Structure 1
Protein backbone atom coordinates (compact mmCIF):
# COMPACT_ATOMS: atom_id res chain seq x y z
CA UNK A 1 0.00 0.00 0.00
CA UNK A 2 1.42 3.38 -0.99
CA UNK A 3 1.21 6.57 1.04
CA UNK A 4 -1.50 7.93 -1.23
CA UNK A 5 -3.60 4.83 -0.52
CA UNK A 6 -3.73 5.38 3.22
CA UNK A 7 -7.32 5.03 4.48
CA UNK A 8 -7.68 8.55 5.89
CA UNK A 9 -10.80 9.54 7.76
CA UNK A 10 -12.27 12.87 6.69
CA UNK A 11 -14.55 14.91 8.96
CA UNK A 12 -18.02 15.92 7.85
CA UNK A 13 -18.01 19.59 8.83
CA UNK A 14 -18.41 22.93 7.04
CA UNK A 15 -14.77 23.98 7.20
CA UNK A 16 -13.33 26.43 4.65
CA UNK A 17 -11.78 24.84 1.56
CA UNK A 18 -8.24 25.76 2.57
CA UNK A 19 -8.51 23.89 5.88
CA UNK A 20 -7.15 20.38 5.38
CA UNK A 21 -7.60 17.43 7.71
CA UNK A 22 -6.36 13.87 7.83
CA UNK A 23 -7.10 11.29 10.52
CA UNK A 24 -5.25 7.99 10.36
CA UNK A 25 -6.60 4.60 11.30
CA UNK A 26 -4.58 1.57 12.33
CA UNK A 27 -4.49 0.45 8.68
CA UNK A 28 -1.85 1.01 6.03
CA UNK A 29 1.46 0.65 7.86
CA UNK A 30 4.29 -1.80 8.43
CA UNK A 31 4.21 -2.43 12.19
CA UNK A 32 3.49 -5.94 13.43
CA UNK A 33 1.26 -7.08 16.31
CA UNK A 34 0.37 -5.69 18.77
CA UNK A 35 1.08 -2.42 16.92
CA UNK A 36 -0.38 -3.47 13.58
CA UNK A 37 -0.10 -1.70 11.35
CA UNK A 38 0.08 2.10 11.07
CA UNK A 39 1.37 2.88 14.55
CA UNK A 40 2.68 6.45 14.71
CA UNK A 41 3.64 6.50 18.39
CA UNK A 42 7.38 6.35 19.12
CA UNK A 43 6.82 5.89 22.87
CA UNK A 44 4.80 2.67 23.04
CA UNK A 45 7.49 0.01 22.55
CA UNK A 46 7.19 -0.50 18.80
CA UNK A 47 10.22 -1.05 16.55
CA UNK A 48 11.83 2.34 15.89
CA UNK A 49 12.33 1.64 12.19
CA UNK A 50 8.69 0.64 11.77
CA UNK A 51 7.46 3.84 13.40
CA UNK A 52 9.78 5.88 11.18
CA UNK A 53 8.47 4.10 8.09
CA UNK A 54 4.87 4.69 9.16
CA UNK A 55 5.51 8.38 9.80
CA UNK A 56 7.17 8.64 6.39
CA UNK A 57 4.03 7.27 4.74
CA UNK A 58 1.94 9.90 6.49
CA UNK A 59 4.45 12.66 5.75
CA UNK A 60 4.25 11.86 2.03
CA UNK A 61 0.62 13.01 2.06
CA UNK A 62 1.33 16.32 3.81
CA UNK A 63 2.87 19.70 2.96
CA UNK A 64 5.46 19.39 5.76
CA UNK A 65 6.53 17.19 8.64
CA UNK A 66 3.85 17.23 11.34
CA UNK A 67 4.83 18.94 14.59
CA UNK A 68 4.90 15.79 16.71
CA UNK A 69 4.24 16.54 20.37
CA UNK A 70 5.33 14.86 23.57
CA UNK A 71 1.88 14.55 25.10
CA UNK A 72 1.59 14.50 28.89
CA UNK A 73 -2.19 14.89 29.51
CA UNK A 74 -1.66 18.57 30.26
CA UNK A 75 -2.92 21.90 28.94
CA UNK A 76 0.13 23.43 27.23
CA UNK A 77 -0.51 24.62 23.67
CA UNK A 78 2.30 24.67 21.08
CA UNK A 79 2.09 27.76 18.87
CA UNK A 80 3.51 26.60 15.56
CA UNK A 81 3.90 30.13 14.22
CA UNK A 82 6.66 30.64 16.82
CA UNK A 83 10.21 29.63 15.98
CA UNK A 84 10.59 27.75 19.28
CA UNK A 85 7.20 26.14 19.79
CA UNK A 86 6.83 23.86 22.83
CA UNK A 87 7.27 20.16 22.13
CA UNK A 88 5.94 19.01 25.50
CA UNK A 89 2.32 19.95 24.93
CA UNK A 90 -1.13 18.49 24.40
CA UNK A 91 -2.39 20.88 21.74
CA UNK A 92 -1.09 22.90 18.81
CA UNK A 93 -2.35 25.90 16.86
CA UNK A 94 -1.18 27.52 13.63
CA UNK A 95 -2.09 30.39 11.32
CA UNK A 96 0.81 29.90 8.91
CA UNK A 97 -0.11 27.79 5.85
CA UNK A 98 1.66 24.45 5.64
CA UNK A 99 2.36 24.02 9.36
CA UNK A 100 0.75 20.76 10.41
CA UNK A 101 -0.83 20.43 13.84
CA UNK A 102 -1.12 16.87 15.09
CA UNK A 103 -2.21 14.95 18.17
CA UNK A 104 -1.94 11.21 18.72
CA UNK A 105 -4.60 9.12 20.44
CA UNK A 106 -5.73 5.59 21.21
CA UNK A 107 -8.96 6.30 23.21
CA UNK A 108 -8.42 9.92 24.23
CA UNK A 109 -10.46 12.45 22.26
CA UNK A 110 -8.80 14.33 19.39
CA UNK A 111 -10.46 17.72 18.88
CA UNK A 112 -9.74 19.59 15.65
CA UNK A 113 -10.54 23.30 15.36
CA UNK A 114 -10.60 25.96 12.68
CA UNK A 115 -12.11 29.39 12.27
CA UNK A 116 -14.73 30.27 9.67
CA UNK A 117 -12.32 32.62 7.93
CA UNK A 118 -9.84 29.82 7.26
CA UNK A 119 -6.95 31.63 8.89
CA UNK A 120 -6.33 29.50 11.98
CA UNK A 121 -6.36 25.81 12.89
CA UNK A 122 -5.72 23.81 16.02
CA UNK A 123 -5.65 20.29 17.43
CA UNK A 124 -6.10 19.20 21.04
CA UNK A 125 -5.48 15.90 22.85
CA UNK A 126 -8.40 15.66 25.26
CA UNK A 127 -8.16 12.69 27.56
CA UNK A 128 -10.23 13.05 30.70
CA UNK A 129 -7.38 14.59 32.70
CA UNK A 130 -6.54 17.23 30.12
CA UNK A 131 -10.21 17.89 29.50
CA UNK A 132 -10.88 18.38 33.21
CA UNK A 133 -7.84 20.65 33.61
CA UNK A 134 -8.79 22.89 30.68
CA UNK A 135 -6.93 21.81 27.53
CA UNK A 136 -9.86 22.86 25.34
CA UNK A 137 -10.13 26.23 27.04
CA UNK A 138 -6.40 26.77 26.52
CA UNK A 139 -6.58 25.75 22.86
CA UNK A 140 -9.57 27.97 22.08
CA UNK A 141 -7.81 30.91 23.75
CA UNK A 142 -4.68 30.28 21.66
CA UNK A 143 -6.66 30.28 18.40
CA UNK A 144 -6.93 34.07 18.56
CA UNK A 145 -10.49 33.99 17.22
CA UNK A 146 -13.84 34.66 18.84
CA UNK A 147 -15.22 31.27 19.98
CA UNK A 148 -18.44 31.91 18.04
CA UNK A 149 -16.33 31.92 14.86
CA UNK A 150 -14.79 28.51 15.54
CA UNK A 151 -15.74 25.08 14.23
CA UNK A 152 -14.83 21.90 16.12
CA UNK A 153 -14.73 18.26 15.09
CA UNK A 154 -14.40 15.28 17.43
CA UNK A 155 -12.37 12.37 16.09
CA UNK A 156 -12.35 8.69 17.14
CA UNK A 157 -12.34 8.20 20.92
CA UNK A 158 -13.57 5.84 23.58
CA UNK A 159 -17.36 5.88 23.45
CA UNK A 160 -19.92 6.32 26.25
CA UNK A 161 -20.69 2.61 26.42
CA UNK A 162 -17.02 1.67 26.92
CA UNK A 163 -15.54 4.33 29.20
CA UNK A 164 -16.08 3.26 32.81
CA UNK A 165 -14.54 5.54 35.44
CA UNK A 166 -14.52 5.93 39.22
CA UNK A 167 -16.26 8.36 41.54
CA UNK A 168 -13.22 10.64 41.56
CA UNK A 169 -13.44 11.32 37.82
CA UNK A 170 -17.12 12.18 38.00
CA UNK A 171 -16.56 14.37 41.03
CA UNK A 172 -13.77 16.26 39.27
CA UNK A 173 -16.02 17.27 36.38
CA UNK A 174 -19.04 18.07 38.53
CA UNK A 175 -16.88 20.29 40.72
CA UNK A 176 -16.27 22.39 37.62
CA UNK A 177 -19.93 22.50 36.59
CA UNK A 178 -23.04 20.69 37.79
CA UNK A 179 -24.06 20.22 34.16
CA UNK A 180 -21.35 17.57 33.82
CA UNK A 181 -23.52 15.12 35.76
CA UNK A 182 -25.47 14.62 32.52
CA UNK A 183 -22.42 12.90 31.03
CA UNK A 184 -22.33 10.09 33.61
CA UNK A 185 -24.60 7.11 34.21
CA UNK A 186 -24.21 4.34 36.79
CA UNK A 187 -21.64 1.69 35.93
CA UNK A 188 -21.59 -2.03 36.53
CA UNK A 189 -20.80 -1.75 40.23
CA UNK A 190 -21.20 0.87 42.94
CA UNK A 191 -18.68 3.68 42.62
CA UNK A 192 -18.27 3.22 38.87
CA UNK A 193 -19.77 5.35 36.10
CA UNK A 194 -20.04 5.21 32.33
CA UNK A 195 -18.62 8.52 31.11
CA UNK A 196 -19.48 10.30 27.86
CA UNK A 197 -16.22 12.00 26.89
CA UNK A 198 -17.84 13.52 23.81
CA UNK A 199 -20.56 15.19 25.86
CA UNK A 200 -18.09 16.50 28.42
CA UNK A 201 -16.08 18.10 25.60
CA UNK A 202 -19.22 19.53 24.00
CA UNK A 203 -20.19 21.11 27.30
CA UNK A 204 -16.79 22.72 27.73
CA UNK A 205 -16.78 24.13 24.20
CA UNK A 206 -20.39 25.33 24.42
CA UNK A 207 -19.62 27.17 27.64
CA UNK A 208 -16.82 28.98 25.82
CA UNK A 209 -19.20 29.98 23.03
CA UNK A 210 -18.23 27.43 20.37
CA UNK A 211 -21.50 26.63 18.62
CA UNK A 212 -20.51 24.59 15.56
CA UNK A 213 -19.47 21.18 16.94
CA UNK A 214 -19.35 18.07 14.78
CA UNK A 215 -18.34 14.40 14.94
CA UNK A 216 -18.31 12.34 18.10
CA UNK A 217 -19.69 9.09 16.72
CA UNK A 218 -16.60 6.88 16.28
CA UNK A 219 -15.75 4.58 19.19
CA UNK A 220 -12.17 3.31 19.31
CA UNK A 221 -12.97 0.42 21.67
CA UNK A 222 -15.79 -1.11 19.64
CA UNK A 223 -14.11 -0.81 16.24
CA UNK A 224 -11.03 -3.03 16.59
CA UNK A 225 -10.59 -3.34 12.83
CA UNK A 226 -9.96 0.37 12.28
CA UNK A 227 -8.82 1.85 15.57
CA UNK A 228 -6.17 1.39 18.24
CA UNK A 229 -7.56 1.31 21.80
CA UNK A 230 -5.50 1.40 24.96
CA UNK A 231 -8.51 0.51 27.11
CA UNK A 232 -9.26 -2.54 24.97
CA UNK A 233 -5.74 -3.84 24.29
CA UNK A 234 -3.30 -2.32 26.77
CA UNK A 235 -0.25 -2.53 24.52
CA UNK A 236 -1.20 -0.82 21.29
CA UNK A 237 -0.30 1.81 18.71
CA UNK A 238 -1.37 5.41 18.24
CA UNK A 239 -3.37 7.16 15.52
CA UNK A 240 -2.89 10.74 14.40
CA UNK A 241 -5.37 13.56 13.84
CA UNK A 242 -3.81 16.27 11.67
CA UNK A 243 -4.98 19.70 10.52
CA UNK A 244 -3.29 22.44 8.51
CA UNK A 245 -3.93 25.40 6.23
CA UNK A 246 -3.37 24.77 2.53
CA UNK A 247 -0.98 27.31 1.05
CA UNK A 248 -2.52 26.78 -2.38
CA UNK A 249 -6.05 27.82 -1.45
CA UNK A 250 -7.39 31.21 -0.51
CA UNK A 251 -9.02 31.72 2.90
CA UNK A 252 -12.77 32.10 2.98
CA UNK A 253 -14.14 35.59 2.32
CA UNK A 254 -15.19 37.42 5.49
CA UNK A 255 -18.86 37.12 6.33
CA UNK A 256 -21.02 40.22 6.12
CA UNK A 257 -23.66 38.76 8.34
Structure 2
Protein backbone atom coordinates (compact mmCIF):
# COMPACT_ATOMS: atom_id res chain seq x y z
CA UNK A 1 0.00 0.00 0.00
CA UNK A 2 2.88 2.38 0.70
CA UNK A 3 6.57 2.70 0.06
CA UNK A 4 8.89 4.10 2.72
CA UNK A 5 12.36 5.60 2.69
CA UNK A 6 14.94 4.77 5.34
CA UNK A 7 15.89 8.46 5.42
CA UNK A 8 12.43 9.30 6.74
CA UNK A 9 11.98 6.48 9.23
CA UNK A 10 12.28 8.78 12.22
CA UNK A 11 10.97 8.83 15.78
CA UNK A 12 7.68 10.68 15.99
CA UNK A 13 7.34 10.96 12.22
CA UNK A 14 5.43 8.65 9.90
CA UNK A 15 5.41 8.80 6.12
CA UNK A 16 4.41 6.92 3.00
CA UNK A 17 4.55 7.13 -0.77
CA UNK A 18 1.21 5.45 -1.28
CA UNK A 19 0.65 3.28 -4.32
CA UNK A 20 -2.64 2.69 -6.13
CA UNK A 21 -3.13 -0.53 -4.15
CA UNK A 22 -5.34 -1.05 -1.11
CA UNK A 23 -8.37 1.09 -1.91
CA UNK A 24 -12.00 0.74 -2.93
CA UNK A 25 -12.19 2.50 -6.31
CA UNK A 26 -12.92 0.57 -9.49
CA UNK A 27 -11.96 0.55 -13.16
CA UNK A 28 -9.39 3.10 -14.27
CA UNK A 29 -9.38 4.45 -10.70
CA UNK A 30 -8.56 1.09 -9.12
CA UNK A 31 -8.02 1.14 -6.33
CA UNK A 32 -6.51 3.74 -3.95
CA UNK A 33 -7.40 6.86 -5.92
CA UNK A 34 -7.23 9.89 -3.61
CA UNK A 35 -7.91 12.48 -6.31
CA UNK A 36 -10.84 14.67 -5.28
CA UNK A 37 -10.51 16.36 -8.67
CA UNK A 38 -11.03 13.13 -10.57
CA UNK A 39 -14.39 11.88 -11.82
CA UNK A 40 -14.28 8.90 -9.47
CA UNK A 41 -17.14 8.37 -7.02
CA UNK A 42 -16.57 10.87 -4.21
CA UNK A 43 -17.46 8.31 -1.55
CA UNK A 44 -14.75 6.01 -2.83
CA UNK A 45 -12.17 8.79 -2.84
CA UNK A 46 -13.05 9.78 0.73
CA UNK A 47 -12.77 6.19 1.91
CA UNK A 48 -9.40 5.89 0.20
CA UNK A 49 -8.22 9.05 1.94
CA UNK A 50 -9.49 7.65 5.24
CA UNK A 51 -7.33 4.58 4.69
CA UNK A 52 -4.28 6.75 4.02
CA UNK A 53 -4.90 8.76 7.19
CA UNK A 54 -5.28 5.57 9.22
CA UNK A 55 -2.00 4.21 7.86
CA UNK A 56 -0.31 7.43 8.98
CA UNK A 57 -1.88 7.32 12.43
CA UNK A 58 -3.97 10.50 12.17
CA UNK A 59 -7.66 11.32 12.02
CA UNK A 60 -9.09 11.51 8.51
CA UNK A 61 -9.83 15.23 8.97
CA UNK A 62 -6.14 15.81 9.71
CA UNK A 63 -4.90 14.58 6.34
CA UNK A 64 -4.31 17.91 4.59
CA UNK A 65 -3.49 18.43 0.92
CA UNK A 66 -3.46 21.54 -1.29
CA UNK A 67 -5.31 22.36 -4.50
CA UNK A 68 -2.35 21.89 -6.82
CA UNK A 69 -1.73 24.31 -9.69
CA UNK A 70 1.88 23.56 -10.80
CA UNK A 71 3.12 26.63 -8.95
CA UNK A 72 6.09 27.47 -6.71
CA UNK A 73 3.70 28.37 -3.88
CA UNK A 74 3.89 26.95 -0.36
CA UNK A 75 1.41 27.17 2.51
CA UNK A 76 2.34 26.85 6.19
CA UNK A 77 -0.51 24.92 7.82
CA UNK A 78 -1.41 24.55 11.47
CA UNK A 79 -4.52 22.44 10.97
CA UNK A 80 -7.07 21.36 8.37
CA UNK A 81 -8.14 24.01 5.87
CA UNK A 82 -11.26 25.89 6.87
CA UNK A 83 -14.20 25.96 4.48
CA UNK A 84 -13.59 28.52 1.77
CA UNK A 85 -9.89 28.90 2.57
CA UNK A 86 -7.49 29.43 -0.32
CA UNK A 87 -5.60 26.16 -0.61
CA UNK A 88 -4.06 26.75 -4.04
CA UNK A 89 -0.40 25.78 -3.69
CA UNK A 90 1.97 22.95 -4.51
CA UNK A 91 3.62 22.41 -1.16
CA UNK A 92 2.70 22.39 2.52
CA UNK A 93 4.84 22.62 5.64
CA UNK A 94 3.90 22.25 9.28
CA UNK A 95 5.15 21.70 12.80
CA UNK A 96 1.72 20.77 14.19
CA UNK A 97 1.57 17.42 15.95
CA UNK A 98 -1.19 15.08 14.79
CA UNK A 99 -1.28 16.57 11.31
CA UNK A 100 -0.44 14.76 8.07
CA UNK A 101 0.38 16.75 4.93
CA UNK A 102 0.43 15.25 1.48
CA UNK A 103 0.50 15.89 -2.26
CA UNK A 104 -1.15 14.05 -5.12
CA UNK A 105 0.78 12.91 -8.18
CA UNK A 106 0.46 10.83 -11.32
CA UNK A 107 3.96 11.24 -12.86
CA UNK A 108 5.18 14.46 -11.22
CA UNK A 109 7.67 14.23 -8.37
CA UNK A 110 6.41 13.97 -4.78
CA UNK A 111 9.06 15.18 -2.33
CA UNK A 112 8.70 14.63 1.40
CA UNK A 113 10.83 16.61 3.85
CA UNK A 114 11.58 16.27 7.54
CA UNK A 115 13.84 17.92 10.08
CA UNK A 116 13.58 15.51 13.02
CA UNK A 117 15.41 17.81 15.44
CA UNK A 118 13.22 20.84 14.73
CA UNK A 119 10.17 18.60 14.20
CA UNK A 120 9.20 20.36 10.99
CA UNK A 121 7.89 18.48 7.96
CA UNK A 122 7.05 19.35 4.36
CA UNK A 123 5.48 17.87 1.24
CA UNK A 124 5.94 19.23 -2.27
CA UNK A 125 4.39 18.43 -5.65
CA UNK A 126 7.27 18.97 -8.05
CA UNK A 127 6.55 18.56 -11.72
CA UNK A 128 8.90 20.23 -14.15
CA UNK A 129 7.11 23.57 -13.74
CA UNK A 130 7.39 23.51 -9.98
CA UNK A 131 11.00 22.33 -9.93
CA UNK A 132 11.95 24.91 -12.55
CA UNK A 133 9.98 27.68 -10.85
CA UNK A 134 11.23 27.23 -7.29
CA UNK A 135 8.76 25.09 -5.33
CA UNK A 136 11.59 23.11 -3.73
CA UNK A 137 13.51 26.22 -2.69
CA UNK A 138 10.33 27.77 -1.31
CA UNK A 139 9.46 24.63 0.66
CA UNK A 140 12.85 24.61 2.36
CA UNK A 141 12.58 28.34 3.09
CA UNK A 142 9.15 27.82 4.64
CA UNK A 143 10.51 25.01 6.80
CA UNK A 144 13.36 27.29 7.91
CA UNK A 145 10.79 29.90 8.92
CA UNK A 146 9.41 27.31 11.36
CA UNK A 147 12.82 26.59 12.85
CA UNK A 148 14.24 23.90 10.55
CA UNK A 149 17.87 23.97 9.42
CA UNK A 150 19.21 22.88 6.05
CA UNK A 151 21.79 20.74 7.82
CA UNK A 152 18.99 18.75 9.44
CA UNK A 153 16.43 18.56 6.63
CA UNK A 154 15.98 15.22 4.90
CA UNK A 155 14.33 15.23 1.47
CA UNK A 156 13.23 12.17 -0.48
CA UNK A 157 11.74 12.02 -3.97
CA UNK A 158 9.06 9.39 -4.40
CA UNK A 159 7.72 7.58 -7.47
CA UNK A 160 8.11 9.79 -10.55
CA UNK A 161 8.10 9.30 -14.31
CA UNK A 162 11.56 8.17 -15.43
CA UNK A 163 13.70 9.59 -18.21
CA UNK A 164 13.09 6.83 -20.73
CA UNK A 165 9.31 7.36 -20.41
CA UNK A 166 9.32 11.18 -20.62
CA UNK A 167 9.69 12.54 -24.14
CA UNK A 168 9.60 16.32 -24.61
CA UNK A 169 9.72 18.71 -27.54
CA UNK A 170 12.31 21.30 -28.59
CA UNK A 171 10.60 24.22 -26.82
CA UNK A 172 10.81 22.37 -23.51
CA UNK A 173 14.49 21.60 -24.04
CA UNK A 174 15.32 25.14 -25.13
CA UNK A 175 13.66 26.69 -22.07
CA UNK A 176 15.86 24.69 -19.70
CA UNK A 177 19.07 25.26 -21.62
CA UNK A 178 18.42 28.99 -21.96
CA UNK A 179 18.05 29.17 -18.18
CA UNK A 180 21.27 27.25 -17.58
CA UNK A 181 23.42 25.62 -20.28
CA UNK A 182 24.39 22.91 -17.79
CA UNK A 183 20.80 21.66 -17.92
CA UNK A 184 21.71 19.85 -21.14
CA UNK A 185 22.80 16.94 -18.94
CA UNK A 186 19.16 16.16 -18.16
CA UNK A 187 18.30 15.51 -21.82
CA UNK A 188 19.03 12.63 -24.17
CA UNK A 189 17.95 12.53 -27.84
CA UNK A 190 14.81 10.53 -28.51
CA UNK A 191 13.97 8.63 -31.66
CA UNK A 192 12.08 11.65 -33.01
CA UNK A 193 14.12 14.49 -34.54
CA UNK A 194 14.29 17.54 -32.28
CA UNK A 195 12.78 15.69 -29.34
CA UNK A 196 14.43 14.59 -26.12
CA UNK A 197 14.01 12.30 -23.13
CA UNK A 198 13.99 14.42 -19.95
CA UNK A 199 15.35 13.19 -16.62
CA UNK A 200 12.91 14.76 -14.17
CA UNK A 201 14.07 12.72 -11.13
CA UNK A 202 17.68 13.81 -11.60
CA UNK A 203 16.65 17.43 -12.11
CA UNK A 204 14.65 17.40 -8.87
CA UNK A 205 17.28 15.70 -6.72
CA UNK A 206 20.02 17.95 -8.07
CA UNK A 207 17.94 21.01 -7.23
CA UNK A 208 17.60 19.70 -3.68
CA UNK A 209 21.34 19.15 -3.35
CA UNK A 210 22.01 22.60 -4.82
CA UNK A 211 20.05 24.04 -1.90
CA UNK A 212 22.70 22.68 0.45
CA UNK A 213 20.69 19.78 1.82
CA UNK A 214 22.95 17.01 3.11
CA UNK A 215 20.37 14.23 3.15
CA UNK A 216 18.72 13.73 -0.25
CA UNK A 217 17.31 10.46 -1.54
CA UNK A 218 14.83 8.86 -3.89
CA UNK A 219 12.77 5.70 -4.04
CA UNK A 220 13.68 5.04 -7.69
CA UNK A 221 10.21 4.01 -8.87
CA UNK A 222 8.77 4.95 -12.29
CA UNK A 223 5.06 5.73 -12.32
CA UNK A 224 4.71 5.21 -16.07
CA UNK A 225 6.25 1.74 -16.25
CA UNK A 226 4.73 0.16 -13.14
CA UNK A 227 1.03 0.14 -13.95
CA UNK A 228 0.19 -2.32 -11.18
CA UNK A 229 1.33 0.09 -8.49
CA UNK A 230 1.03 3.61 -9.89
CA UNK A 231 -1.32 5.92 -11.73
CA UNK A 232 0.26 7.80 -14.65
CA UNK A 233 -1.11 10.82 -16.45
CA UNK A 234 1.13 10.25 -19.45
CA UNK A 235 0.16 6.60 -19.74
CA UNK A 236 -3.50 7.61 -19.64
CA UNK A 237 -2.88 10.22 -22.34
CA UNK A 238 -1.14 7.73 -24.60
CA UNK A 239 -4.08 5.34 -24.23
CA UNK A 240 -6.63 8.12 -24.70
CA UNK A 241 -8.44 7.14 -21.52
CA UNK A 242 -11.06 9.59 -20.21
CA UNK A 243 -9.48 10.21 -16.79
CA UNK A 244 -6.88 8.92 -14.34
CA UNK A 245 -6.39 8.36 -10.63
CA UNK A 246 -3.90 10.05 -8.34
CA UNK A 247 -1.70 8.57 -5.64
CA UNK A 248 -0.69 10.46 -2.53
CA UNK A 249 2.62 10.91 -0.76
CA UNK A 250 2.25 12.14 2.80
CA UNK A 251 4.12 12.68 6.05
CA UNK A 252 2.84 13.16 9.60
CA UNK A 253 4.07 14.42 12.95
CA UNK A 254 2.91 12.15 15.77
Q: Give the TM-score, by structure 1 length.
A: 0.87
Give, in whole Å, the separation in 2 of the partners of 1:97 and 1:171.
44
Deviation at 1:147, TM superposition (A): 2.2
Deviation at 1:33, TM superposition (A): 0.9
1:103 aligns with 2:103: yes
Deviation at 1:86, TM superposition (A): 4.6
Counterpart in the other structure of 1:201 = 204
Q: Is the CA contact 1:15–1:151 (under 8 Å) kept in the aligned structure 2? A: no
Counterpart in the other structure of 2:240 = none
Counterpart in the other structure of 1:112 = 112
Q: Is the CA contact 2:91–2:122 (under 8 Å) kept in the aligned structure 1? A: yes
Distance 1:17 1:179, change over 3 A: farther
Deviation at 1:58, TM superposition (A): 1.9
Deviation at 1:210, TM superposition (A): 1.2
Q: Where does the alignment leave 5 or more consecutive residues of structure 1 unmatched? A: 1-6, 247-257
Residue deviations 1:103-162, cap 9 Å, x none? 000100000111141511100000111111111111111111332321110100101110
Give, in whole Å, the separation in 2 of the partners of 1:10 and 1:203.
21
Counterpart in the other structure of 1:251 = none
Distance 1:148 1:190, change over 3 A: farther
Q: 1:162 aligns with which of 156, 165, 175?
A: 165
Q: Is the CA contact 2:157–2:205 (under 8 Å) kept in the aligned structure 1? A: no
Distance 1:15 1:71, change over 3 A: same
Deviation at 1:14, TM superposition (A): 5.5
1:73 aligns with 2:81: no
Q: Is the CA contact 2:108–2:161 (under 8 Å) kept in the aligned structure 1? A: yes
Distance 1:238 1:24, change over 3 A: same
Distance 1:103 1:57, change over 3 A: same
Q: Is the CA contact 1:121–1:245 (under 8 Å) kept in the aligned structure 2? A: yes
Give, in whole Å, the separation in 2 of the partners of 1:148 and 1:172.
32
1:45 aligns with 2:39: yes
RMSD: 1.8
Deviation at 1:202, TM superposition (A): 1.7
Q: Which is helix-richer, 1 or 2?
A: 2
Q: Is the CA contact 1:118–1:245 (under 8 Å) kept in the aligned structure 2? A: no
Give, in whole Å, the separation in 1 of the partners of 2:118 and 2:189.
42
Question: Which is further off, 130-139 or 171-180?
Answer: 171-180
Q: Where does the alignment leave 5 or more consecutive residues of structure 2 unmatched? A: 238-242
- Aligned residue for 1:173, secondary structure, equals helix
How many residues in Structure 1 have an aligned counterpart in Structure 2? 240
Give, in whole Å, the separation in 2 of the partners of 1:102 and 1:111.
9
- Aligned residue for 1:13, secondary structure, equals helix
